Structure 1
Amino acid sequence: MTSQLNEAQRMYLLSWASKRKLPRSGRSGQIRISAYLLGFVIEGEGVILLDGVLHKIKPFQLYLLVPGMVLDIPEGSGSFDYYVVRFEPMRLSRSSGRCEGELLPMLLGPLSPGLLPVHRPQSMLQAFERLHESGRREAARHSFSGRLQLEQLLHELMRSDPPAAAVDERVQRSLAYMNLHYKQKLSIEQLAETAGEMSGPAFSRLFRHETGTTPIEYLNRVRMEHGKRMLNGKDARVKEVAAEVGFRSEFYFSRMFQRRVGVSPSLYMKRGTLKVAVASSLSLHDHLTSIEIEPVCTVDLFRYPGQSDDEYAGRLADQLKRLREAKPDLIVADEYHAEFEEEFKRTAAPVFLDFSVWDWKRNFEQIAELVGREREASEMLTRLYIQAEITGRELRRALGSERLTMLQVNHRTVGIQGRANHPLNELVYGELALKPCTQTPREVWRLEMPPEALPVLEAEHLFIHQHHVLAGSADRYRELTGTSAWSAAEAVKQGNVYDIPNWFAMSWTPLGRQRIMNELRRTLGRADDAR
């Protein structure tokens, strides 16, 4: 029979089909794939690593697995049921009037191993159910009907993948041109001409609309990425690298590099051996610890409310002395230390992380790149994602319909933590998917008010941090607990009020997020046991 697919000599044999569960008997472990498999998830949720890439398993997902792939199942990753079909790709050839078949060493065609798109889940489920029924019968495994069903399924997959949204063809031409000719001096007029005989302003507007950036910004990004790779090479010289990536001036290249990467090219070349200090009020030293680097010095120079002039002056002088004596090559600092930039420059090159967008992960990845630990950072983020999936599932099961709210009490106000726009909110209400109460604000990251203005909180669990204790947060806390709204709060009536450390700062780092999740499991696990 001629295959229904795109080559007359290609065909697919159905070996078997079955319905299974992963992980088997609740065990974690590693599975090396030795055959061609199609797996369709039908029930349950979990987390797997497929060739080191993290996947969150959900119903109606479809995976193509090929020989040599490695499937890792983390401990506590959840369980899921799935249909699995094993098949063999073959090629038919005619020789001397005879038709011969041979197994193909690799799968030909447009399908890529891993997660495949599913646009019609119901029809996909029915197709796997039919294959499962055929695969259960020994006689049907290599039968005409079984092969026909399999080829119909593969044909559907090959033709159902819709093309990605296309970037304007003129912009595509300019992108390709920049990637090929980044070493040359390129002008907007040249790029506009390459794109399709456009004017410079019209091309710039189109480019920004399609890519979200300007042509020059994109070109410099391409040059810097090539520059970083070259600087990692043995015996690299900044002047030669600058010329190689399209900069006539070593000085201008270094300035652009510093602006985009955060450090000078010469310091970037030493990133694997740098001595790093941290100046932070947001526990940024945990970023380094999580990628197996110990800072040579950690300081916090922020003046916290409640400190006297003499206390702060003594503390500041002591910490700056320790910083100088540590002799770091690099100082990683947060925005609370911007006023000390000139002071830091007398000791080492400072890098101030960008907090204009509250993206803790981007800052973590930037620090990892500065010290040459990108792989360790990626592994840490994968572990963190898996922990969030497992912890969230456990907590949601323990809490059921119960809700939680987080408060911060400082020396002036009480703040109800919002549902988004802050690393802590995104962890608790986003990644862990725990339920907020009605009074939890949707749009702002925290809603602050005097203690007497706090509404009655409907949440069954209340987590409170007292901030700036030296300045008098204990007084605001006493005022809060004396209000009628406090007495009427559901968590107070049930005795589910918990004091917490500064989760608001801890949530900015991977290790801090791990600690928050562990504390939630311990606290809410005990509450669940008490019920």
Structure 2
Amino acid sequence: MISLYNEPDTHETDELPVDEFLFRLRDLERIKGDGDLRGEQQFTLSHVLLVVTKGRGTITMDHYDGRLRPNAVYVCPPGETFGVSADPSHGLDMFLFRFDVFRQAGKRNSHLQVVREQRPFPVEREFPASASSQLLSLCEIVNRCWQSGDELERFRSQIAFQELLYCLLKSGRLPAEDSKSSLARAKAYMDQNFDQNVTIEKLAHLAGVSPKYFVDLFKKTYGISAIDYLTQLRVNRAKTLMARSGAKLRDIAHQVGYHDEFYFSRKFKKEVGVPPTVYMKSRRRKIAAYSAPIVGHLLALRIIPYAAPLHPKWTSYYYQTHRSDIAVHLSAYRQNEHWESNIDMLRQARPDVIISMDTVDPGEKQKLEEIAPVLYVPSMENDWREQLRMVARFLGESAEAEHWLKNYERKVEAAREQLANETGGDTFLIVRMRNEHLYAYCNRSMAAVFYGDLRMVPAYCCESDVYNQRIELGRLAEVDADRLLLMIRQEPETLSYWKALRQTPEWRQLKAVRNNRVYVIPPDPWREYSAAAHERIVEECVRMLSGNRPY
């Protein structure tokens, strides 16, 4: 009997040998993309194995960031998120395997239990794979058999997948490269001496290669130029120094390796997006954003919060752009599911003020108010502009709010004119895809910005501006929208349905599909009701619709 349990196994999986487990392939996808490939973070309930065959890119697995490259394999365990993107100059070709792991449960081994909470084999998220030609051959065999309509060949794909895992696990036993290699020594020197006069010639000498070869090798190995890496080290150290009271900009510049404070200011603004003086001001006030929309309002005021909810899927933009700027990373997992641990982190961080949406529970409010003064921003009574002004008044930044809003209106007016010329009055329908169902969808941000500020023409009529109504494929054809915007839930069941839907005659006959005017939009920023998120929606609409970039 096979029992599909979700509970954590009571045994220590890490201590079990690999032959205690059974592996079964669930799905296989070959991904080929050019430099425009930007995969949204997906939540997975199964194990995910990524094998890169060509090209380069980046991968994010929960809070792990890595470089995708050939001859390396990447493993994402269940219950986490992952996303990949290709380097613009390389593109990307890889295999994505989804598989389940079983182990015998009970002393009598009477049934099999799904292993989801623990790692079933001794490999890290990223590990080298030797015998690349054998690896590629096995991937091709699994793929060919898996795609076959013959049940015997599909059975063979399971056998070939076992052989692939054996090949990978055997590679994982090989000793890693010497961490004190020449290039690693040069990088370690930068880590320890970034405040000194570091030159390419010095680094190349440490690596035992020519300066030109060092520049190319460093960029190829680490995905960033040596100069940009040095700048990051210096700027990140400067951010830490700026949080100290009494620190002067000139002294900070000298301490991180810049003798000219004006040159340092220009470099800092280029890297961070705001001048050092503005950044220092925001760091001196320890402002905690307890909700993701609050982060969006604070950024519009040019304030970087001291503490904020961060996650590569649920607050992806803030995680990607500001995780090194925000000192305290609160959990953003599944809409504040870990609120008690967040309270503990804030209690230790001792912020000056806390700003939150008013949707928190009474018990949560009481604990927040024990830590610092709290501003609760009404989530439904006020629109986003008034929310921004409310946050600004609380922080004494009303002038900054009005300045931002004036620039926003200017940007919207220009975008509206450009989009009117591009779309020519076409009708739009936003469709949300969840599991095996479609929904005609419009949230507050879409109503306010897409249909409101930008004046896009809705194809779907509803009594309310905000709706989430189930819609069948036949009804979708009746609506007959000129353009479709799709928000697809990034989880296996929905992605499998989306893959199948695209092959159906009913989908292919939709006018928007025939005219190649279907666009996939991510939840971020479209589901966040905040000033900065709405500005990004405007920018995304111009980029997406002007470039006619369909799915």
TM-score by length of 1: 0.41
TM-score by length of 2: 0.40
Q: Looking at CA atoms only, which structure, 1 or 2, has the larger radius of gyration? A: 1
